[in-house]
Amino acid sequence: MLEHIKIHQLNDFFLELDKRNKRGVFFYRICGYNTEIDDFITDYYNAARSSGVIIENKIANPDEKNLAYYNEIMGLDFRMSAEFINEKLSKWLPRMTPSQRGIVSDSIYNTLDNLRKDGKNDNMLKNAYVKMMCWLYYKFERIVNQLGNNKVPKILYQGNVSKYELILLSILSTSGCDIVLLQYSGDNDYLSLDSASLLSDKLELNGMTAFPQDFSLETVKNKIIQKNNRAQLFGKQPDTINCTNAWCCGKIYDDILKPPATRSSDEKLFCNCFFRINGVEDKLTFQNELVHLNSELNKNNRNTVIINKSIPAPSPNEISAVKRENYSDSDRMLADLSAKIGFTGNPNLASIIRKAFIDTLLEAEKNTQLSLNKLMNKAVYLICWFRRYQANLLKNLKLPDIACFILFGPCLTDNEALFLKFLAKLPIDVIIFNPAMNVKCCLNDNVLYEINYQTPFAIDEFPDSNSNVRVGTAAFHAERELDTIMYQDSGMYRNMQHNKAMPVILSTMYEEIAVLWDQELKYRPNFSTENDTVMMPVIFAKISGVKDAQVTQYWSGIKSLVTPETYVIKNVPFVQPNNPVKPFAAEFFKNGKLLRDKIRSHKCYQYGFLRENIQEHILDKIQLLIDRKLIKGTFLNGTEYTIISVALSMKTEIVRLIQRFDFTKKNPKIIYINTSEKIISLEDSITMALLSLIGFDVLFFVPTGYRTVENHFNQDVIEEHQAGTYLYDMHVPDFRLISSSTRQSWRDKIFKRGS
């Protein structure tokens, strides 16, 4: 018989008998879990499946048919002697050798003798003997003829073992079997049978925890089946594998430019980089370093792709070109789609690409618990992007050549991050530059090597070595840093600092108009900035009547409002109904949205000379005017097309005021004077409403008090102030002939309350 010996490491279980430190067998129980144990159980399961026995749900007791067959073959006699047991084994298990029978019969006899000493009678001993013989035949016949061989048979038992099961396992152990007991609920049940642990040893390893609740030999079996299926899924394995970053010295530019052939002497490896660089080391040299990097990559004929800001999403045509089926599981889906990647180069590189594609998606499925449909969508994205860039990356590439993919800006989506992980498994150096650090890159990967500099640097695009590069001096960057400190959340604003603005109509007292009129917007109530958008407090009001019927003072007061930013309208109507845009207005609007590209490319577009952000500002407010339905008839009788034609044909003088408008400073203004009974035209109403949204102060002077302004508005957007007596048939004077000295007393003459 063989004695129990102790292991030094789990892999000792797989040593042949003559290679163990001492000739003996292992009998261990495992009551805890870690990843090392998980891997060992899988390997031991495979070993027991090929040359051993796996017991998942106890050893079934012999049934009536088992016992009847035993009695028919062996008879009913029983004697307490090793010779009797040996003789019966030769008939019951004829494949056993004489030496194997001798060991087993002696072991059974010793076990029965111990039971007799514990008080068991002859009938109990016979029942125990028959049970053991049946178990040996029906459960362990496949291994009894391997007992004592150099390749030790394995038994794997799951659950809490019973007394007679433990007795039989102990017999098989000393006869030449390795045995592992998996006890998910702990060791207490076992110790009730073998309190001194004489029959087996308890495994003790660092970092052991309780078994996961869903752990079982069934899950181990499924994992093995899946692994085997995955082996078929991958097909022929590539001859070379990636060695990512392990060879690098950490000097990123040196590593990227190191000739691929010198990165490793092992022909079975291709060595690539997977870097992310946040911030810059030196603002003065950063752009030159990028230009040098690009120049060297080109000089060395490295296949290179550089993407600025983000990877454009696949187009509908690219997506529809990836043919898909109805898949029942991820393995079938990946097997099908991996064959549609579209690479037709050398077979080894094709195997590398296939393996990288499958590995990347299996990792995503495991780490994020993706549904099959979402996993398929990500797979389609990878195929679309790979098809798009493969020609530039892999054309004529032969290992150990390494291509280079540079994303100049952070990964903004999970799909971008997944694509870069995929590329990093190919013979491609993958580098992410995030110099501005204003947005965090969403890519996370254990292999990624990250360098973090403390200095942010705002630059939109990777500088092209064939173009002129603008590099700032130390003084320039110092000024920019000071500029950042001064103009962020400080209440001070540099010229044209903000590109977007939204109007806020101020509700004021009559007297406040004079105070607010010539103020910069940043000093007005409710002014604020959020991100790059300015909230502009503007005046949109109507003043009816003439204070104390003092006509001279009335006109002097209006004259004092005329600032360099003010446009005065004296003749009604202001806008002529016919304009060059009107025939094309219907072409510029579809499904409730302005067709901006079509507008800006049209021959009748008049605002192309304006600053880019101002053009967008005007178009934004045209869309807003339509969306809010401020003008009666919008989306009812085609008024939206009138809005577009009027808004795109404003007079040059008005457009110039918009062009020089700085959203935080003094805003442009309109004074609209209507002394007659004429109702303001639809076109004038559209223009005034649009200018208010753009950020103009709009002030209507209506001495008659008539309802001339409000007729074309859906909402009560104009605040009306009653200034005094209604006067009629007034004529607007030539303001050049009115003394400007009245400017200082305008509040007294126009806005001062009566005593």
Kindly report each contact of residues 137-144 with a partner whose C-beta sits within 8 Å and lies 24 or more positions away, as own/partner.
Answer: 137/70, 137/92, 137/93, 138/62, 138/66, 139/53, 139/55, 139/59, 139/60, 140/53, 140/172, 141/93, 141/95, 142/53, 143/51, 143/52, 143/53, 143/172, 143/177, 144/93, 144/95, 144/96, 144/100, 144/104
Handedness of CA 545, 550, 553, 556 (dihedral sign): positive
Residue 426 CA from chain centroid, whole number: 21
Q: Quote the Cα angle for 732-733-736, to 5°.
A: 135
| Beta strands 528-530 and 533-538, pairing class | antiparallel
How confident is the model over 245-275, as pLDDT tens digits? Answer: 999 998 889 999 999 999 999 989 999 999 9
Q: Is residue 747 over pLDDT 60?
A: no
Distance CA(462)–CA(290), nearest Å, equals 7
Per-residue pLDDT band at 744 (split at 50, 70, 90): very low
Q: Which of 423, 414, 256 is nearest to 356 (CA)?
A: 423
Per-residue pLDDT band at 743 (split at 50, 70, 90): very low
Residue ranges in 199-300 assigned as alpha helix (H)? 217-234, 252-257, 283-299
Region 198-209 average pLDDT: 94
* pLDDT for res 755: 35
Per-residue pLDDT band at 368 (split at 50, 70, 90): confident
Residue 147 CA from chain centroid, whole number: 56
Cα distance from N-terminal residue to C-terminal residue, the chain:
124
Residue 11, H or E segment: none
Q: Quote the Cα angle for 64-69-72, to 5°.
A: 125
Region 683-693 average pLDDT: 95
* pLDDT for res 331: 82
Region 122-132 average pLDDT: 94
For residue 50, give every residue at least 6 positions away whose Cβ sits within 8 Å of its Cβ, in sequence order, or none: none
Q: Which two tokens stand for residue 34?
A: 């870690």
Lowest mean pLDDT among 98-112, 217-231, 380-394, 582-596: 217-231
* pLDDT for res 328: 84
Distance CA(380)–CA(363), nearest Å, equals 16
Residue 546, beta-bridge partner list? 725
Site of tokens 């899946």:
226
Q: Which of 687, 697, 623, 695 is nearest to 659 (CA)?
A: 695
Q: Is residue 466 over pLDDT 70?
A: no
For residue 302, give every residue at least 6 positions away whose Cβ sits within 8 Å of its Cβ, in sequence order, or none: 401, 402, 403, 404
Cβ proximity of 131 and 62 under 8 Å: yes
Q: What does residue 58 show for φ and ψ, rounded to 5 degrees? A: 65, 165
DSSP 190-222: HHTT-TT--S-EE---TT-BPPPTT--HHHHHH
Q: Which of 185, 208, 205 is nearest to 34 (CA)?
A: 208
Rounded to two decimals, what is the model's pTM?
Answer: 0.47
Q: What does residue 640 show for φ and ψ, rounded to 5 degrees? A: -60, -30
Q: How far is CA 749 from CA 117, 206, 511, 547, 559, in A?
A: 126, 92, 11, 8, 12
- Angle of helix 372-394 relative to helix 330-338, nearest 10 degrees, comes to 20
Burial class for 628, CB neighbours closer than 10 Å (0-12, 13-18, 19+): middle
Q: Is residue 285 over pLDDT 90?
A: no
Which has more confidence, 633 or 284?
633
Q: Is residue 716 over pLDDT 80?
A: no
Q: How far is CA 41 from CA 140, 215, 225, 489, 497, in A?
A: 20, 11, 15, 61, 65
Q: Is residue 753 over pLDDT 50?
A: no
According to DSSP, residue 433 is labeled: E
H helix and E strand count, the chain: 25, 22
Per-residue pLDDT band at 492 (split at 50, 70, 90): low
Cβ proximity of 557 and 749 under 8 Å: yes
3-state DSSP assignment of residue 655: helix
| Rounded-to-10 torsion of CA 192, 194, 195, 201 | -120
Which has more confidence, 472 or 270?
270
3-state DSSP assignment of residue 54: strand
Residue 601, H or E segment: helix 596-601
Distance CA(416)–CA(442), nearest Å, equals 9
Handedness of CA 332, 333, 336, 342 (dihedral sign): negative
* pLDDT for res 33: 95
Q: Which two tokens stand for residue 81?
A: 């002697």
Site of tokens 């990647």:
341
Q: Which amino acid is at 721?
A: H
Considering the chain, what percentage of its residues have pLDDT values greater than 90?
Answer: 69
Which has more confidence, 489 or 70?
70
Q: Maximum Cα–Cα distance for the chain, whole Å?
A: 141
Distance CA(327)–CA(525), nearest Å, equals 61
Q: Which amino acid is at 131?
A: K
Distance CA(153)–CA(144), nearest Å, equals 9
Q: Is residue 170 over pLDDT 80?
A: yes
Per-residue pLDDT band at 489 (split at 50, 70, 90): low
Distance CA(301)–CA(245), nearest Å, equals 22
For residue 145, give every residue at least 6 positions away whose Cβ sits within 8 Å of its Cβ, in sequence order, or none: 93, 95, 96, 97, 100
Region 141-166 average pLDDT: 94
3-state DSSP assignment of residue 652: helix
Kindly report each contact of residues 228-232 with a partner whose C-beta sits within 8 Å and lies 24 or more positions away, as own/partner.
Answer: 229/331, 230/331, 230/358, 230/362
Per-residue pLDDT band at 656 (split at 50, 70, 90): very high
Q: Is residue 483 over pLDDT 70?
A: no
Distance CA(14)–CA(154), nearest Å, equals 9
According to DSSP, residue 55 is labeled: E
* pLDDT for res 491: 56
* pLDDT for res 157: 97
- Angle of helix 283-299 relative to helix 474-487, nearest 10 degrees, comes to 120
Per-residue pLDDT band at 746 (split at 50, 70, 90): very low
Per-residue pLDDT band at 590 (split at 50, 70, 90): very high
Region 705-728 average pLDDT: 88
Q: How big is the chain, counted in residues?
A: 755
Lowest mean pLDDT among 159-173, 375-389, 488-502: 488-502
